[in-house]
Amino acid sequence: MISIRQRKGVKTTEVSEDHAAQEENVKLENKLLSGCSSRRLWKTLSFTVGGTIALCVGLLTSVYLATLHENDLWFSNIKEVEREISFRTECGLYYSYYKQMLQAPTLTQGFHGLMYDNKTESMRTINLLQRMNIYQEVFLSILYRVLPIQKYLEPVYFYIYTLFGLQAIYVTALYTTSWLLSGTWLSGLLAAVWYVTNRTDTTRVEFTVPLRENWALPFFAIQVAAVTYFLRPNLQPRSERLTLLAIFVSTFLFSLAWQFNQFMMLVQALALFSLDSLDMLPATKATWLYGIQVAGLLLVCALQFFNSMILGSLLISFNLSVLIARKLQKNLKTGNFLNRLGKLLLHVFVVFCLTLFLNNIIKKILNLKSDEHIFKFLKAKFGFGATRDFDANLYLCEEAFGLLPLDTLGRLADTLLFYAYVLVLCGTAAAALAGAFRNLSDPAGRPVGGVARRTLSLKPETAYNLMHTVLFGFLALSTMRMKYLWTSHMCVFASFGLCSPELWELLLKLIHLYNPKTMWALRYSVPVLTLLYLCCKFWPEMMDELSELREFYDPDTVELMSWINSHTPGKAVFAGSMQLLAGVKLCTGRALTNHPHYEDSGLRERTRAVYQIYAKRPPEEVHTLLRALGADYVILEDSICYERRHPRGCRLRDLLDVANGHVMDGPGENDPDLKPADHPRFCEEIRRDLPLYRAFFTRVFQNKTFHVYKLSRNK
């Protein structure tokens, strides 16, 4: 039986509630979409503005440095020989190969001349592409030949403008790194302004244009920026692959441009190793970076015809040791605090021992001695025994290889950079230590002491830049020449800290004044006020500097080069100081006995033999040494023979006396085993023009600075 049931009434309240809920959801979705669109628009606008400012700041810095170079030398007005003389010491040597490639009738002949060179070192044929990092000169010479610019731009200007253009890339890379770390382009602008206002301590490109570091450091800055981005978590696979490519290319170009690449990247590898061991970096990403370093260096090795100094580098041995040790200790990051600490110490010991073992094996197989002077220098510098080794003492007595002068920190403090850097360093170091302790004691990463983990932890990219600046800071403090690697990164790190929301949040929470609005206000107001201070204080100084006009003036060296060109055969061989002979090679094209590129044991022996002209040796012995190297002429410099720039014990003649077992000139102590020399100092005695000296040497040129003697052919 079918029955009809009355319908249940629908409650009007339920309908109205559902409808209201649906409307509320729609409004919320619209609001979220509108918010997302606004954020996307703001992000795009910020990126456009920040990117434009980065390019403008980079170009302005490049123009500023080029103008300083022009104003200091009046480069556009001086003669070609004066322009070439202005490339002092090794700078002139490197530029000479650019000039040589341009003067070659064809590119093939130019390459042949570099690969079978017999003028850089007399009586020896060497492959310059293997020995030196001059691929940049080769590339520029090819580019100058190919591009239709010969009528509008002189070769020397094409060369220096390229290097000043690289400085634009350098500053842009520093700007980008700071932006990536802080999340705002304001920190990038502050980093760039700090770089310029601290120019004396951040770059020396305006007076050492062809120096290898001026080619290399822009690519190193790009690599650091790419590593910073790569270490960000949750990267898309495509972004990660492109970033790895950027890291590899920049690492390769940096390594190709500078002979000290392996030592700089070893410091970088130590930073990665420290963070990887403390579980502050993803292990997979650290492995990629180790591999890229080795791959980039091996590719450079192949291009340099398997340069043995690269194969025997500590970097390759260290990176291989890290990867091997990691395979041997698979459970390194497990256990309680004491357990993990013990494993970590063992791991460090294994890596250290394995590195030394591999490096010694490789060097014995290759019979490598090219870098032994560096290790002798380091051993003596850090107090592991005094040395009489001439090469080691030559470095020890140079101011550039001494400790960083304290007045450097004073100059950095004048721009507020040093104060900001120390503040940021302390904050990030405290967070890093807390994070490392937590990682070792509590792998699960639970909150410590009631403070949120994200407050005490450092992002991987921040942790890397912290270790980078700390290690390069130690390097700069111990060796002044390396300060340019540190001070530029100081600008990045300090500006990042002043614009970092995490650091301001940590600081405000420590003093119990945290408020989101206060944090955001400080994040932007402090950098802006710093920029205003820098502009007000240093803008007038920069304008005065740009208005100051000088002119290159070195008539004695110009006279010497002109005389060599007009009064000596094209095949003549010259002996003298390394620094001067680089200019002789560039300005005259004559063959040399020695030169400033010191990374070869045979060349170091040649240099010691040539420098006996400033020691206490008889004329016949000096003549024999010089003729054995094929020398036809020798140039003596009063500035070396009667040197007063260095204190007693560090003058070149003192280093030679000690190495030869002779007592030094002048009042002061001598080691008890040193003996008085049997002969007077050669460079002083030859000026008396005695018959004994005339039998071997004939004076053919002299001025207030230089004395040139022709060697007799008779033995």
User: Which tens digits make up the pLDDT trace of 510-569?
Assistant: 888 888 888 899 999 999 999 999 999 999 999 999 999 999 999 999 999 999 999 999
- Predicted local confidence at residue 441, as pLDDT: 83
- Predicted local confidence at residue 714, as pLDDT: 63
457 has pLDDT over 80: no
> Of the given ranges (45-54, 337-346, 470-479), which has the lowest mean pLDDT?
337-346
Q: Burial letters for 448-473: b for 16+ Cβ neighbours within 10 Å, e otherwise? A: beeeeeebbbbbbbbbbbbbbbbbbb
**Residue at token pair 């990247």:** 265
Q: What is the pLDDT of residues 683-706, one digit of tens each?
A: 999 999 899 999 999 999 999 999
Distance in angstroms (rounded) separating the CA atoms of residues 224 and 230: 10
Bridge partners of 711, per DSSP, are: 697
454 has pLDDT over 50: no
Q: What are phi and psi of 531, to 5 degrees?
A: -65, -40
Categorize the per-residue pLDDT at 397 as very low, low, confident or very high, splitting at 50, 70 and 90: confident
Residue 567 half-sphere exposure, CB side, CA atoms within 13 Å? Answer: 12
Record the tokens describing residue 554, joined without a space.
């070195």
Q: C-alpha 626: how far from its chain's center? A: 36
Distance in angstroms (rounded) separating the CA atoms of residues 174 and 337: 38
Distance in angstroms (rounded) separating the CA atoms of residues 408 and 200: 9
- Number of neighbours of residue 258 by Cβ within 10 angstroms: 22
Query: Could you tell me which of 211, 261, 257 has the C-alpha nearest to residue 94?
Result: 211
* Domain boundaries, given as residue ranges, for the chain: 163-443+454-547, 555-711
Distance in angstroms (rounded) separating the CA atoms of residues 592 and 100: 15
Integer CA distances (angstroms), 466 to 290, 456, 587, in order: 18, 14, 45
Q: What are phi and psi of 676, to 5 degrees?
A: -60, 140
148 has pLDDT over 50: yes
374 has pLDDT over 80: no
Q: What is the pLDDT of residues 36-66, one digit of tens each?
A: 677 788 888 989 999 999 999 999 999 999 9
Q: Are 128 and 110 in contact (CB under 8 A)?
A: no
The average pLDDT across 315-326 equals: 94
- Predicted local confidence at residue 34, as pLDDT: 57
336 or 115, higher pLDDT = 115
- Number of neighbours of residue 400 by Cβ within 10 angstroms: 10
> Of the given ranges (8-12, 325-329, 564-568, 579-583), which has the lowest mean pLDDT?
8-12
Amino acid letter for position 88: R
In order, the DSSP letters of 468-512 are HHHHHHHHHHH-GGGHHHHHHHHHHHHHHHHT-HHHHHHHHHHTT
- Predicted local confidence at residue 9, as pLDDT: 44
Query: Could you tell me which of 558, 592, 595, 596 has the C-alpha nearest to residue 572?
Result: 592
Distance in angstroms (rounded) separating the CA atoms of residues 125 and 112: 12
Q: Are 285 and 231 in contact (CB under 8 A)?
A: yes
* pTM tops 0.85: yes
In order, the DSSP letters of 399-458 are GGGSPPPHHHHHHHHHTTHHHHHHHHHHHHHHHHHHHHHHHHH-TT---BTTB-HHHH--
Distance in angstroms (rounded) separating the CA atoms of residues 104 and 680: 46
167 or 505, higher pLDDT = 167
User: Can you state the percent helix, strand and coil of the chain, rounding each to 5?
Assistant: 70, 5, 30
The average pLDDT across 303-314 equals: 92
458 or 170, higher pLDDT = 170
Task: State the SS3 of 92-110.
Answer: HHHHHHHHHHHHCCCHHHH
Distance in angstroms (rounded) separating the CA atoms of residues 424 and 430: 10
Q: What is the DSSP letter of 636?
A: E
Query: Could you tell me which of 287, 263, 265 has the C-alpha nearest to residue 275?
Result: 287
Q: Are 424 and 498 in contact (CB under 8 A)?
A: yes
293 or 401, higher pLDDT = 293
The average pLDDT across 610-622 equals: 96
Categorize the per-residue pLDDT at 26 as very low, low, confident or very high, splitting at 50, 70 and 90: very low
The average pLDDT across 301-319 equals: 93
Integer CA distances (angstroms), 676 to 644, 672, 683, in order: 22, 11, 17
Amino acid letter for position 227: V
Task: State the SS3 of 570-604.
Answer: CCCEEECCHHHHHHHHHHHCCEECCCCCCCCHHHH
The average pLDDT across 567-587 equals: 96
In order, the DSSP letters of 638-684 are HHHHT--SSPTTTSHHHHHHHHTTBPPSSSS---TT-B--SS--HHH
Q: What is the DSSP letter of 1?
A: -
Distance in angstroms (rounded) separating the CA atoms of residues 214 and 208: 8
Q: Which class in CATH covers the domain with range 555-711?
A: alpha beta
As a whole-number percent, the residues of the chain with pLDDT over 90 amount to 75
- Predicted local confidence at residue 516, as pLDDT: 87
Categorize the per-residue pLDDT at 715 as very low, low, confident or very high, splitting at 50, 70 and 90: low
- Predicted local confidence at residue 446, as pLDDT: 45
Q: What is the pLDDT of residues 58-104, one digit of tens each?
A: 999 999 999 999 999 999 999 999 999 999 999 999 999 999 999 99
Q: What is the pLDDT of residues 232-284, one digit of tens each?
A: 998 999 999 999 999 999 999 999 999 999 999 999 999 999 999 998 999 99
- Predicted local confidence at residue 541, as pLDDT: 93
Q: Average model confidence (pLDDT) for the chain?
A: 90
458 or 51, higher pLDDT = 51
- Report which secondary-structure segment, H or E, holds 705: none
Integer CA distances (angstroms), 146 to 3, 112, 140, in order: 100, 19, 10
13 has pLDDT over 70: no
455 has pLDDT over 70: no
- Number of neighbours of residue 445 by Cβ within 10 angstroms: 12
Q: Which residues neighbour 300 within 8 Å (Cβ) at sequence distance 6 or greater?
A: 252, 255, 256, 261, 307, 310
Categorize the per-residue pLDDT at 28 as very low, low, confident or very high, splitting at 50, 70 and 90: very low
- Report which secondary-structure segment, H or E, holds 637: strand 633-637
